[in-house]
Structure 1
Amino acid sequence: MTNRKSTKRALLGSVVAMVLCLAMLVGATFAWFTDTASTGVNKIQAGNLDVALEYSTDFKTWNKVTDTTKLFEESTVWEPGRTEVVYLRVKNAGTLALKYTVGMYNINEGRGKNVAGEFYYLSNYVKLGAVETTAAYADREAAINAVNAEARTLKSIGSSAIIGEDQMVMLAPEADAKTYALVLYMPTEVGNEANPKNNDPYWASKFSFGISVNATQAEYENDSYDNTYDHAAPELFYAESFSHGTHEITKNIQANGRYGAVQAEKTAQITIDADVYAVYTKGADGQNAAMAVEAGGTSKVIIKGGDFRQVGVPADDPVCDLIYATDKATIEIQGGTFKAVTPANTLNVIDSARGVAKIIVSGGSFYKYDPSHPAMGENEVFVADGYHVEQNGDWYTVVKN
């Protein structure tokens, strides 16, 4: 029996559990929207940003997406040539123009061991592609050919966008919907490198992820001057995470705050000069979080400016750190505004056996939080020499002596 035939029969146990969750991360609505207000002759009413999302497997019957919708079949058999297709329809159901991206989130993966006794990851061998379409594909060859130029392995996609990666897609109010085909497949060229050892599901690599549609305001509606008043809305809807190298973040972010909307690990060096909104996210381990910035290892983060806030923190779980350092990491705050739902948790440092982290403040304004008298991280959160804190109402600003 050839290796190819053996692979076709033996690739068992590799799980791709696809759960599509509609994550409508509306860009910093508190910054631009107002409540309804009226006078005797005038009325000002808040606009409405609303994305509607539907899915279909045959392009005939469309169903509304919910946070428990399973787009693809949960299977224990993934082999070369297997293909799954689902169609998504994105609509603007609100009164404001919006722009959006579609991407993966909540990624979980376990490594496997193949027939050669080598470790492998399924995400290196399964591809996902997305393309606009007006009809269902007749067969798997047509579906694969349609996305072949755009398809990437699940590993290479990571937290980047599947749709709108280079430029967010815009929809005007009441515009025609955009319809996409999401094609998930294992190329026929894959061989025993992804074939679990002994045909045993125990050795199979397992991969699961969700898909999020993230929308924000678009520069479309006009005021008395132009249509750029909402230009500061978030541009990135996935967490920026680095383990090595030097990086600059200048685009506004609104993303999953479970591990930090911006995350620095190991030896990474990151400079931030952008707004960072951390979306409250529940963890399977019960550890829920809404961290805008998290630093670990021996990494260093310099915050030069921007607005740092938390989004969607529920009233029954308000204790979430906004800026967080651990291990031997250092976070330097030189500017920006910082507002945590629980002010005492604006800045926090957690020691570990590997060393003492620290947060040094030489600028910035903090809501109901005085960095010269930190609620947590005593002797680890401090105002830099030559600087002091001035209070103005609920805000504490660090200024030079």
Structure 2
Amino acid sequence: MNESTKTKKALRGSLFALFLCIVLLIGTTFAWFTDTASTGVNKIQSGNLKVDLEVATAWDDNGTVTKWESAKDKTLDFKKAKGAEEDQILWEPGCRYKLPEIRIVNKGNLALKYRLKIDGIKGDAKLNEVIDWTIGDNTIDEEKVLNAGKNSEPMTIQGHMQESAGNEYQGLSIDGISITVYATQASVESDSFGPEYDQNAAYTISAKDANGLTKAIKDAKAGDTITFDENVAITPVVEDTTEQTLVPQTVLNKSATLNLAGKKLTVDGAAADYGKASPLIMNVDGADTNVTIEGDGEINCEAGNNQVYGINITNGASLTIKDGKYYGAMTAIQVQKGSLTIKGGFFDMAPTCKAQVPQYAKYVVNAIDSAYKDGTAKISITGGTFVNFDPSANPEGTGTSYVADGYKVTSEKQSNGDTWYTVVKK
């Protein structure tokens, strides 16, 4: 074997050894990258909010409550003075009647804040106009906080008939009332950063029918959420009047979120006696009123003709639409004075109106012309689909658009001949 051959063999051996070392090093490095470590983690449990209202049903000789029962679905009767006739509650100016003691029970594992509301009058609701309800020295709807698993102190609700009540209240009676507890999370529990995460938790107030919606709006405070538990159908009431062209069936005049929760709010246009005015499902009213509609539900003018409107915005109110379906005859949403922001949803004419006056589709979303020109009526659209109406195509005259900057309109022809215009980001 010559010297050159030996050198080549040695070189090949060295290269093989070097390769083997590299492979081993790579294996070692790869194993280090895939190494793992673990530790036990405490159980994660979500909180629950559960509240109950209880009423005293038994007392000892000293007047101490010995038995509490749930007040759900009960009407509370007034206490009578000792020796008074059992079947007689007589209201007269200055008199006072009180109910059995009640208490709030927090049955969940989260602290809550709550408000009480008087409703469900047993007797003449008109008499309630001149009765002041209190709990001790406090008004009945004062907000209070109750920690998890705790009971409130017993509370006695008292009704006082105003001394100024006039003769028109004679002969009326209230024999009992119902009470509703509205509760939501209180800013007590903390996360890793503190208790602030739920400090703005809003109350949810349920609406089950037309009367329930009116009551929910009355009971709501700024920031509350009004949630539909059922479809709400309104039988319109329209007076013969020359003062109004639209008569609202519902007025929302406080800042709130309207959560349709997949339900429908409708007015039966065929049942309307129009006279000289047209029914309006909802009027969003007031300079300090900021309303958001969400929950992917439906507001529908089930019109018998083309004179039933959906929503009207007045006196500087602000309305934001996040989603849902809206049908008008001819207008689904109109801005008389205020602002409308549409982030999503589906907007069309009611079927009967579409059949009668299809050319009015351009009014499915509309601003009063003079108010739009002077800037007191504003519409800004960043999403949603509009049937046979392009919100970017000069809705208020040449060069005007309801579509916000940075957005555009796409169109799609439907098999029934309609054209859908959808607002999307550029």
Q: Is the partner of 1:254 in helix, strand or coil? A: strand
Aligned to 1:347: 326
Instruction: Tell me the CA shift for residue 128 of structure 1.
Output: 2.3
8 A Cα contact 1:295 1:330, kept in partner: yes
Aligned length: 271
Cα shift readout 1:182-204 (whole Å, capped 9, x = no counterpart):
123546776744323xxxxxxx4
- Output the aligned Cα RMSD: 5.1
Question: TM-score of the superposition, structure 2-length normalised?
Answer: 0.48
Aligned to 2:189: 221
Q: Is the partner of 2:197 in helix, strand or coil? A: coil
8 A Cα contact 1:51 1:90, kept in partner: yes
Q: Is the partner of 1:94 in helix, strand or coil? A: coil
Flag the structure with larger Rg: 2
Segments of structure 1 that go 5 or more residues without pairing to the other structure are 1-38, 112-120, 132-146, 152-161, 197-203, 243-248, 284-293, 311-319
Aligned to 1:234: 202
Aligned to 1:370: 346
Q: 1:44 to 1:297 in 2, by over 3 A?
A: closer
2:94 matched to 1:94?
no
8 A Cα contact 1:331 1:360, kept in partner: yes
Q: Is the partner of 1:163 in helix, strand or coil? A: coil
| Structure with more of its chain in helix, by fraction | 2
2-structure distance, mates of 1:63, 1:282: 36
2:45 matched to 1:45?
yes
For residue 173 of structure 1, the aligned residue among 129, 134, 148 is 148
8 A Cα contact 1:254 1:279, kept in partner: no
Instruction: Tell me the CA shift for residue 212 of structure 1.
Output: 0.7
Point out the more displaced range, 320-329 or 172-181: 320-329
Segments of structure 2 that go 5 or more residues without pairing to the other structure are 1-38, 60-64, 79-85, 206-214, 235-245, 266-278, 303-307, 355-360, 366-385, 396-400, 412-420
Q: Is the partner of 1:229 in helix, strand or coil? A: helix
8 A Cα contact 2:313 2:319, kept in partner: no
Structure number with the bigger relative contact order (C-alpha 8 A, sep ≥ 6) is 1
Cα shift readout 1:193-250 (whole Å, capped 9, x = no counterpart):
4323xxxxxxx477986321011111222222222222342157573359xxxxxx85
Q: Is the partner of 1:122 in helix, strand or coil? A: helix
Q: Is the partner of 1:123 in helix, strand or coil? A: helix
8 A Cα contact 1:78 1:186, kept in partner: no
Cα shift readout 1:141-179 (whole Å, capped 9, x = no counterpart):
xxxxxx5xx57xxxxxxxxxx232xxx211121234232
% same residue: 23
Instruction: Tell me the CA shift for residue 180 of structure 1.
Output: 1.0
Q: 1:375 to 1:234 in 2, by over 3 A?
A: farther
Cα shift readout 1:15-69 (whole Å, capped 9, x = no counterpart):
xxxxxxxxxxxxxxxxxxxxxxxx9855432211011221015433211122x21
For residue 364 of structure 2, the aligned residue among 381, 384, 387 is 381
Aligned to 1:275: 257
Q: 1:130 to 1:269 in 2, by over 3 A?
A: closer
Alignment of 1:123-138 (within 5 A): 123-131=128-136
Instruction: Tell me the CA shift for residue 124 of structure 1.
Output: 3.3
Q: Is the partner of 2:159 in helix, strand or coil? A: strand
Question: TM-score of the superposition, structure 1-length normalised?
Answer: 0.50
2:322 matched to 1:338?
yes
Point out the more displaced range, 175-184 or 323-332: 323-332
Q: 1:347 to 1:49 in 2, by over 3 A?
A: same
8 A Cα contact 1:129 1:183, kept in partner: yes
Aligned to 1:254: 226
Alignment of 1:32-181 (within 5 A): 41=41, 43-56=43-56, 58=59, 59-66=65-72, 68-72=73-77, 77-80=89-92, 81=95, 83-105=97-119, 121-131=126-136, 150=138, 162-164=140-142, 168-181=143-156
Alignment of 1:262-341 (within 5 A): 274-277=256-259, 296=281, 306=292, 308-309=294-295, 321-322=298-299, 326=308, 330-331=312-313, 336=320, 338-339=322-323
Cα shift readout 1:321-367 (whole Å, capped 9, x = no counterpart):
3587955852499774535xxx5xx3243x5xxxx65415964333x
8 A Cα contact 2:54 2:102, kept in partner: yes
8 A Cα contact 1:331 1:358, kept in partner: no
1-structure distance, mates of 2:182, 2:56: 20
